[in-house]
Structure 1
Amino acid sequence: MTDGSIQQTRLPTRTVVLHIGRHKTGSSSIQATLRHNQAQLLQRGVLVPKNLPPNLSGFFSHVFSRAPEALKFNVERGHGRQQAQKHGNRLLERLAHELEAFTGNRIVLSGEEACALHPDEVAQVRDRLGPVLAPAGQQVDFRVLLYTRDPVAYASSAMQQNIKKNVKLLEDHKPVVLRKAPGWYQRTHAAWAGVFGADAVEFRSFETACAAPGGLIGDFLTAAGIPPEGIEPQRANDSIADEIAGFLSSSHVPKLPPDQRGLWSAGFDLSTADQEILFAIRGSKGGLLTASEQAGLWDAVAADMRFIEREFGITYGAAQTAGAVPFGPVFMDDLKAALPRLSPPVRRGLLAYLRDRSAPGDPGQLQPEGI
């Protein structure tokens, strides 16, 4: 057989886009959009697995983690390493089964927990996933996408997310977020570029993407090699207001006794109805760090900021938005509408908390006659 005939029978390269996060950069909206438009994408030759959850964080963690038994999913169920690995193998088998009928040349896998994998675990992504994603003889071109975010905005968003999910309260989670910040982008890039090559790994600015004409979804699709025309964006996982995050972390909110809390529960004792009302109140964002904490964070991430500017042209500045701010008109309007619907204990606690933290510039704003 001549070289020419070999070239004619060679299968086209299959591109695999790995969207690895990071957290708090619209990953839930990206995943919701991919799932919502799954059938249309398949018609275009793009596979978004339907036999797996929209968020593949659990898939990445179970299949490639060196200690899957330590995952929350397995700890809560009492699963040891063998059971956890079996679950991961089942997930991989489900993906392989779906790929049997796929003839296209682009696959998109999105799971923000993937960015937490260690270098040896990332190597498992390449070695175990590659043979599954393409037929024998077909080459796989891995592309790795990660969105960056302003350090202060990321820290505040990460904290309020944990509060909203009743996982950790503000003062418990704040040290964790600040401790993990230094060098995070450099470590993550080294782990993935060390396996797939620097040319395969792209960091993109969340803020720049959101400000673009097509928004975050348009930016992601374009980066993934998918024309955004005709794709319906979906929004998911809205954040809560700083005022509400602070309230849920305060002594004014009803708490369960420690012996009645789950392993990953911060323990606030609210009905589903009260939670829905509180989470819908709009207010300030990004102000959960004090001015001194912000300054310390910027110092700690300075080397990381220089790295992403040098490698990807992404620039962040140390503008401060910390500290108590006057309650805005939108917050006050939403608060007035919400108060009559809250249960009496939660209503009393919220008002007490807000009076305690009233910011300079809004004297009397939360006096009884003002609401």
Structure 2
Amino acid sequence: METDCTRDELPANGGAAVIAPLPSGTRLLHIGPHKTGTTSIQGALFEVKDAMPEHGVVFPASTRHPMEAVLAVCARPGMLGNTKPTERHWERLVEQVDASGKSTSVISSEFFADAPDDETIARVVEELGGDRVHVLITLRPLARIMPSQWQQYVQNGLRMGYEDWLTHMLRKAPYEKPNPSFWRRHRHDRLVERWARVVGPERVTVVVVDDRDKGGLMRTFEALLGLPENLVQPVPDTANRSLTLAETEMLRNLNVEFRGNGLPDELYSQLVRYGAVMHMKNTCAPGPDEVKICTPQWALEAAAEIGAEMAGRIGTMGVRVLGDPGLLSVVPKPVARTAAEPLIAPEVAAHALYGALAAAAAAPVKHSAPTKARTVHQTSSKELVKVLGHRCLKRLGRR
């Protein structure tokens, strides 16, 4: 991974930068944002959490990603239909970090990027160690983030198509609908500025991720934490793969039906996200001929222009930058458009349907409701969907 020459870490030609480890006892706080390698690094660090202490490093969270704790402290709601996180989630994470004592520790969650104001950031930093906290922000080009973030929003209930969504994010001021969190996370210069304002620029490191260097991010974390090289390795995670265009469009149309019939959010969480989508991800590997999520040229150019502006501003903030900021303003070659329709394969649809049915079956009925006199054939399909949804939700509650 290359680096700008604002610090002593200089790139070896084509190789990794020479990065000095952070002081022993540092609490490295990785705040994302989303779609910048966060899940990959969280899984890799969690995999070696038992091996790190012998090198003076602790992974204090009890799960790969302490999402509930971070959502709670940032006053953010949970995923659509999930139980709202509580303050106790955050308190437990703080207790685990405190228990790491004088060791170096690493805490990672992309939802820290959603912190709404300076007061929240100051609280996070103070309760996780105050002056011991060093903030790490990972960045990727917007052109690579946008399609991935769109399909992730669809997994949380979004009903808007990709090009329409791009128009709202890039061309329709104030650029907050339908997802106000997008620019909160991905106006990266402002994100860096918010955290540097609270902790000081000398305690902020920005890493520009180079997607061509598959192991670069792992090696950077190892260097900053003082871990042996190649200790941190990627962990295969099919559940975290992005949806294909066909899968995303299938889910988006399901979202339209779901919302149109007024079904409860809890049902979406249990049957769709953790049922249909999760089973589909785990059992179906996308083929090489899958129709890609294609970003139009105008959006690629707009993203590159914003990236250049962000890189320029970050370069004036006095924070350490590892990697090549020029990557943030590169206009990628557009993916060749195809006349092929993004059709869902029958076996993929079957796996998705099975996942939903299996999730429903996991909540057995203990008490059957009395049968109504009206037959199914005398009931509208819209009402049937509502009844089925509320019955499934009731069963889930009993579970």
Q: By the TM > 0.5 criterion, same fold?
A: yes
Task: Kindly indicate whether residue 345 of structure 2 is the aligned counterpart of residue 321 of structure 1.
Answer: no
Q: Which moved more, 1:141-150 or 1:38-47?
A: 141-150
Distance 2:217 2:349 in 1: 35
Distance 2:94 2:202 in 1: 27
For residue 70 of structure 2, what is the amino acid of its counterpart?
A: F
User: What residue number does 1:106 align with?
Assistant: 104
Distance 2:52 2:348 in 1: 43
CA contact (8 A) 1:147 1:203 kept: yes
Distance 1:345 1:222 in 2: 41
Matched residue SS, 1:147: strand
Distance 1:252 1:89 in 2: 35
User: What residue number does 1:241 align with?
Assistant: 244
Q: 1:264 to 1:28 in 2, by over 3 A?
A: farther
1:206-242: per-residue Cα shift (whole Å, max 9, x none)? Answer: 2x2x433734322332234323333343133121223
For residue 221 of structure 1, what is the amino acid of its counterpart?
A: E
User: What residue number does 1:168 align with?
Assistant: 158
Unpaired runs of 5+ residues, structure 2, are: 1-22, 176-181, 354-399
For residue 87 of structure 2, what is the amino acid of its counterpart?
A: Q
User: What residue number does 1:185 align with?
Assistant: 188
Matched residue SS, 1:54: coil
- The total of aligned residue pairs comes to 304
CA contact (8 A) 2:189 2:311 kept: no
Q: 1:252 to 1:177 in 2, by over 3 A?
A: closer
Pairing 1:73-92 to 2, within 5 Å after superposition: 76-77=82-83, 84-92=86-94
Unpaired runs of 5+ residues, structure 1, are: 1-11, 132-139, 347-371
CA contact (8 A) 1:57 1:114 kept: no
TM-score, reference length from structure 1: 0.67
User: What residue number does 1:123 align with?
Assistant: 122
Task: Kindly indicate whether residue 272 of structure 2 is the aligned counterpart of residue 281 of structure 1.
Answer: no
Q: 1:144 aligns with which of 135, 141, 158?
A: 135
Task: Kindly indicate whether residue 297 of structure 2 is the aligned counterpart of residue 291 of structure 1.
Answer: yes
The alignment's C-alpha RMSD in Å is 4.0
Distance 1:294 1:75 in 2: 33
Task: Kindly indicate whether residue 64 of structure 2 is the aligned counterpart of residue 54 of structure 1.
Answer: yes
Q: 1:105 to 1:28 in 2, by over 3 A?
A: same
Instruction: After TM superposition, give the deviation of residue 127 of structure 1 in Å.
Output: 1.9
CA contact (8 A) 2:159 2:256 kept: no
Matched residue SS, 1:280: coil
Q: Percent identity?
A: 20
For residue 324 of structure 1, what is the amino acid of its counterpart?
A: R
Q: 1:106 to 1:192 in 2, by over 3 A?
A: same
User: What residue number does 2:19 align with?
Assistant: none
1:45-92: per-residue Cα shift (whole Å, max 9, x none)? Answer: 110014x322133323323x3xx3x5226985478xxxx334433442
CA contact (8 A) 2:49 2:59 kept: yes
For residue 234 of structure 1, what is the amino acid of its counterpart?
A: V
CA contact (8 A) 2:77 2:84 kept: no
TM-score, reference length from structure 2: 0.63
Task: Kindly indicate whether residue 268 of structure 2 is the aligned counterpart of residue 258 of structure 1.
Answer: no
For residue 246 of structure 1, what is the amino acid of its counterpart?
A: E
Instruction: After TM superposition, give the deviation of residue 186 of structure 1 in Å.
Output: 1.7
